[in-house]
Amino acid sequence: MSTTTAQVAPVADVTSAATHCPYCALQCAMVLNPADPAATGPVSVQPRQFPTNAGGLCQKGWTSSELLRTPDRITTPLLRGADGQLHPASWDQALDTIVVRLARLQAESGPETVAVFGGGGLTNEKAYTLGKFARTVLRTPNIDYNGRFCMSSAAAATNRALGLDRGLPFPLTDLAGADAVMLLGSNLAETMPPSVQHLAPVRARGGLVVMDPRRSRTAALTEDRQGMHLQPVPGTDLAVLLALTHIVIAENLIDSVYLDERTSGFETVRRSVAAWWPERAETVCGVPAAQLRRVARQLAAASPAGGGRGAYLLTGRGVEQSSQGTATVTATINLALVLGLPGRIGSGYGAITGQGNGQGGREHGQKADQLPGYRSITDPAARAHVAAVWGVAPETIPGPGRPAVELLSSLGRPATADQPAGPRALFVHGANVLVSAPNSGRVAGALDRLDLLVVCDFVPSETASRADVVLPVTQWAEEEGTMTSLEGRVIRRRQALPAPGQARSELWILAELGRRLGAQVAFATEPADVFDELARASAGGVADYTGLSHARLDDDEAASGPGFYWPVPAADHPGTPRPFQDRFATPDGRARMVAVNHHAPVDDVRPGAPIYLVTGRVLQHYQSGAQTRRVADLNRIVPEPVVELHPLLASRLGIENGAEVRLRSARGEAVARARWSDDIRPDTVFMPFHFAGTGSVNLLTSDATDPISGMPEFKVCAVDLSPVTDGGQP
């Protein structure tokens, strides 16, 4: 791949900007200032006070400006030539190539032959425009995004139970006042380090409970009598939750008044958990019955009905990325409801959103089944409202498309008697599916079947390197816009420096493609104007941004305000930090309790694959690593993937600490160095998912999906493990 060395913005072109970190959904506040020319980045980063980060940053945030000057920054469009290589091209050449090839493909195979895959790092303005472009210009239903890999199970469960999906339906700062916080499958100490300070008072009270097969950095916070770590068999989190609910009910620790006044379905749930007494659950999940009872009683004592300050249950990807992820989150909500937590100040249930704009990205049209404002695409009233904003007839808006895993596996697939042909062209925005998708070897084959792959990116990611056309786009410090944090707080992203070379915003790119493709709808290119249109499109929806604008957000921040939590249905509305205080967002205002049951992982351990593999993040890297692997300081600390395994397992398999090992699953194999650790179960190994090539753990992971959410079962599969000899073979 040919790239152009990124030009360094002159200091005179750099302005101070109050903005937010480009990485996770904590969206830590920072100030960008002109940097010394000898610095690793064109701007210096300083943390600033904001409720979520309270003046803190993690290593990724501190080094974020280095990526703005990465030597392999893409600064000009690239076209794949007859020699099979990518070469610099003009914008006219690149866009004309896309238009000509799209026109041919759609003439041959119809509008659905084009697909779009978005990302949870795009601003609200870009996410909205991408969904609008797919449905009004391309006229395709085939759009989804990598948030399907992140929040879909929690979204499905909370929508079903509470009527509204907002990661945290309360401010993050509320956690500090509780007597107990239970984290299920979330390693905040590594994924969102500044957030841990909000748990300090809870730890001091001995109230932190962490459920994770590993003694992660977060689980280690429970030591010294400051809480409890539950270490279940991978894939059995649901059994733990069913047992906890059983204990709360059996010992009459429920909040009966709350259940009567604010919920429906309790009797069905009570009957369903009757079979999950703690001794039975222990045989499935491996957590001692005594620990289960202790945790259930601790949560009940912390609840309002138990006379405590309050309790929170928080889920993360560790329990959600499962073929029973929706059921697991549902069981978590059921437990929270029997304790009387959701909707009360100082208590509640929430899901930890991971990606920077994972929340906003799914609210405004990137998901296969949603329109802006978190509206269902099958709702006639929603279609009519959004169509009026876009200036199209409602019937021209396509229906639901395929969720991410199904969409990616269908690419380039020929038609058969049982299924239609898959898309022949794909646009990728803000995602690196060759590393981040499950069963990534299968995804690579699907991309190779395409007639046209267009990737918008600012670095040559593994996916961009396979593209037919690469379009250079702006980075976080080079653009204006908004993001929505894990709390549903809408915040401003601000430009500090110009983009290098010919890099352009996706807003300009999509507008220009629309014009060349003969679009009958208008596409604004100024972020503030796009946001105003987004607000109109969201009006009356679940995620209502009607009362917001760039100007109002700027004025609030200038007055040291905390931002606004959606819904904000009017210009004088203060926002909604706690949406469930008076009623839930269901037709009758009651939370719906839904009975669920446990099943084993789709790819369970067996002869030939007797070891559980779990995946996750490390402190220094983010998502597919396309960004952080280019930051020298971060890459120096963690330059390659490792396989974390217990010394007992290593001894049994003859694997030395630091030796190369080969992992095999039903889908592929990967190679990485062994790292002994007694922080993990002896039947389990761990690998981070930030790396490409032979060390990519997603070559191994399962693409089995949750039947409700479409979430893939990233977090557990069965593998075989063996040492690699000098000849490279086990």
DSSP 294-321: HHHHHHHHHSGGGTSS-EEEEE-HHHHS
Token reading at 221 = 């916070």
Tens digit of pLDDT for each residue in 102-111? 999 999 999 9
Rounded to a whole number, what is the distance in angstroms from the first to the last CA of the chain?
A: 34
DSSP 708-720: TT--B-TT-EEEE
> Which run of H or of E encompasses 238?
helix 237-250
Q: Provide mean pLDDT across the span 701-711.
A: 96
- Our CA dihedral for 343, 349, 353, 359, rounded to 10 degrees, sits at -30
Q: Please give the single-letter amino acid code of residue 242.
A: L
Going by the DSSP 8-state scheme, the letter that residue 653 receives in this structure is H
Residues contacting residue 668 through CB under 8 Å, at least 6 positions apart: 439, 440, 441, 699, 700
DSSP 598-638: ----SS--BTTB-EEEEEE--TT--TTSTTGGG-HHHHHHS
Asked if 292 and 237 touch (Cβ cutoff 8 Å), the reply is no
Q: How confident is the model at residue 559 (pLDDT cuts 50, 70, 90)?
A: confident
Tens digit of pLDDT for each residue in 158-209? 999 999 999 999 999 999 999 999 999 999 999 999 999 999 999 999 999 9
Assess whether pLDDT exceeds 60 at residue 9.
no
Q: Cα–Cα distance between 496 and 355 in angstroms, integer?
A: 22
Compute φ and ψ for 567, nearest 5 degrees: -75, 145
pLDDT at 703: 96
> Closest Cα to residue 239, out of 281, 267, 207?
281
Asked if 411 and 447 touch (Cβ cutoff 8 Å), the reply is yes
The residue with tokens 């607000």 is 535
Asked if 427 and 115 touch (Cβ cutoff 8 Å), the reply is yes
Assess whether pLDDT exceeds 60 at residue 2.
no
Asked if 564 and 570 touch (Cβ cutoff 8 Å), the reply is no
pLDDT at 403: 96
Rg of the chain over all Cα atoms, to the nearest angstrom = 25
pLDDT at 170: 97
Calculate what percentage of the chain has a pLDDT beyond 90.
Answer: 93
Calculate what percentage of the chain has a pLDDT beyond 70.
Answer: 98
Asked if 674 and 718 touch (Cβ cutoff 8 Å), the reply is no
pLDDT at 226: 81
Peptide bond into 567 cis (omega under 30): yes
Asked if 69 and 41 touch (Cβ cutoff 8 Å), the reply is yes
Helix axes 289-302, 278-285, angle to 10 degrees: 120
Asked if 261 and 589 touch (Cβ cutoff 8 Å), the reply is no
The residue with tokens 């969201």 is 538
Assess whether pLDDT exceeds 60 at residue 8.
no
pLDDT at 579: 97
Asked if 508 and 525 touch (Cβ cutoff 8 Å), the reply is yes
Output the furthest CA–CA distance in the chain (Å, rounded).
73
Name the 3-class secondary structure at 470.
strand
Asked if 365 and 131 touch (Cβ cutoff 8 Å), the reply is yes
Q: Return contacts of 380-385, CB within 8 angstroms, 24+ apart.
A: 382/541, 385/537, 385/539, 385/540
Q: How confident is the model at residue 12 (pLDDT cuts 50, 70, 90)?
A: low
Going by the DSSP 8-state scheme, the letter that residue 355 receives in this structure is B
Tens digit of pLDDT for each residue in 108-160? 999 999 999 999 999 999 999 999 999 999 999 999 999 899 889 999 999 99
Token reading at 515 = 């014009």
Residues contacting residue 76 through CB under 8 Å, at least 6 positions apart: 4, 88, 89, 472, 501, 502
> Closest Cα to residue 712, out of 490, 355, 439?
439
Assess whether pLDDT exceeds 80 at residue 727.
no
Q: Which domains does the chain have, with CATH numbers?
A: 11-69 (2.20.25.90), 78-150+357-474+497-565 (3.40.50.740), 152-352 (3.40.228.10), 611-723 (2.40.40.20)
> Closest Cα to residue 22, out of 364, 458, 357, 472?
357
Q: Provide mean pLDDT across the span 619-635.
A: 94
Q: Cα–Cα distance between 662 and 674 in angstroms, integer?
A: 9
pLDDT at 5: 44
